[in-house]
Amino acid sequence: MRRKIFLYFISAAFLLCVIFYGLMIWVLRVNYTEEVVNNIKSDAYTVESVLRKDITDDYESLIDDVFRNKINDGIRITLIDGNGNVQYDSHNNHLAMENHSDRDEFKDALEGAIGKSIRFSTTVGAEMVYIAIPFSNQDGDISVIRTAYPLTSIYSFSNRIVNYFILGFGISLILSYIWTLKLSAYVLTPVKLIINTAKRISAGYNSGEVEYHSDDELGDLCRYFNEMNDFNIKNADRLSGANNNLNSILSSILNSVMVLDRNKKLVFCNRSAEKFIGAAFSEMEGKPFIELLRDYEINKFIDDFYIDRKTSIKEIVLHDSVLRFNLYSNEGLFNEFKEGIVLVIQD
């Protein structure tokens, strides 16, 4: 049971750690992505402002000079014409780049909206957040300004969280083991006491009592167990006394008295019945009645009574004597053989 409690604690701790880790990653990703979107959107409008103030065809020199620090920090700036052709890219040779007319953020910007997209960039080799805004200049060679930023930082932070997760789970493992020892000792102590007491009772020792005192449910369980045991002991003593009295009464009766169980086996007889059969009860106990008294009429009479269950009396000639056989249902005499019968033989 101690191992089960430990496994329950470990499973619960692991599940909580996984849920906490998943929620933390989700919240961090949402907040971090939103912050990145706001930053690169602001950068896009800054690029737009610079391009409008400094009219030049040398976009590369202009942007590299003005945004050198941001580019070094990872901001990617791309200028695209109305056909999707890249006119400038801060991280790659724009002449070697493919057409961007199928990009979602580019399409939205051409329609006059702010385009936003998150996808994996084969050019950079990382997942990127893209923001695109519409733009027009005198030459008409630039239609969209796009800024982007990689989400690699969130993944590096996720790796740190994994380390924290492993550390937290390790601490949970140790705490779970300690709590398991304490809880199992608290729970198993009264349970073991009850088991040991029950073993003593089953072995025939009636003086078994659970010595455990507490104000909680376990204490109530032990107290009720003791009360139940006392009740059973008193009932057993009362029944034993009643059976002894009944045996004394039946033994003193001059008529032969025999009790058969539901299988027609002898379970009790008095001294008169022992003399009638010619054998001691210890020799006859548990034997079928038909083996004790081989008489067809008597056994047929008993068989019929087992079927009808009606008090019956019949006189039968046996050994040149007329004997009266009385059959009764065993009700209230021997509780353990309620489905049996009582046979009284009068001579």
Quick one: 8 and 140 in the same domain?
yes
Residue 175 is assigned to a structural domain of this protein: no
Helices and strands (DSSP H and E) totals, the chain: 10, 10
Which residue is associated with the tokens 């056994």?
A: 299
What does the pLDDT read at residue 6?
67
Number of domains in the chain: 2
pTM passes above 0.85 = no
Residue 310 is assigned to a structural domain of this protein: yes
Residue 184 is assigned to a structural domain of this protein: no
Which residue is associated with the tokens 């009592």?
A: 209
- The CATH number covering residue 30 comes to 3.30.450.20
Residue where a domain stops, chosen among 157, 190, 208: 157
Average pLDDT of the residues of the chain: 79
Higher pLDDT, 106 or 1: 106
Quick one: 14 and 148 in the same domain?
yes
Residue 295 is assigned to a structural domain of this protein: yes
Token pair recorded at residue 140: 């008409």
What does the pLDDT read at residue 165?
73
- 3-class secondary structure, 119: strand
Residue 151 is assigned to a structural domain of this protein: yes
Residue where a domain stops, chosen among 157, 174, 207: 157
φ/ψ of 116, rounded to 5, equals -140, 140
Quick one: 15 and 125 in the same domain?
yes
- Calpha distance 157→140 (Å, rounded): 42
**Residue 329: enclosing H or E segment and its boundaries?**
strand 321-329
Residue where a domain stops, chosen among 157, 191, 213: 157
Task: Determine the structural domain holding residue 114 and report its residue range.
Answer: 2-157
pLDDT tens readout for residues 160-184: 777 777 777 788 778 777 777 777 7
DSSP string, 201-255: HHTT----------SSHHHHHHHHHHHHHHHHHHHHHHHHHHHHHHHHHHHH-SS
Residue 210 is assigned to a structural domain of this protein: no
Indicate if the pLDDT at residue 133 is higher than 90: yes
- 3-class secondary structure, 129: strand
Residue 179 is assigned to a structural domain of this protein: no
Give one word for 105, left, alpha or beta, with left for phi > 0 and alpha for psi -120 to 50: alpha
What does the pLDDT read at residue 69?
85
**Which residues, 6+ apart, have CB-to-CB distance to 227 below 8 Å?**
none
Quick one: 149 and 267 in the same domain?
no
- Calpha distance 132→135 (Å, rounded): 9
Residue 37 is assigned to a structural domain of this protein: yes
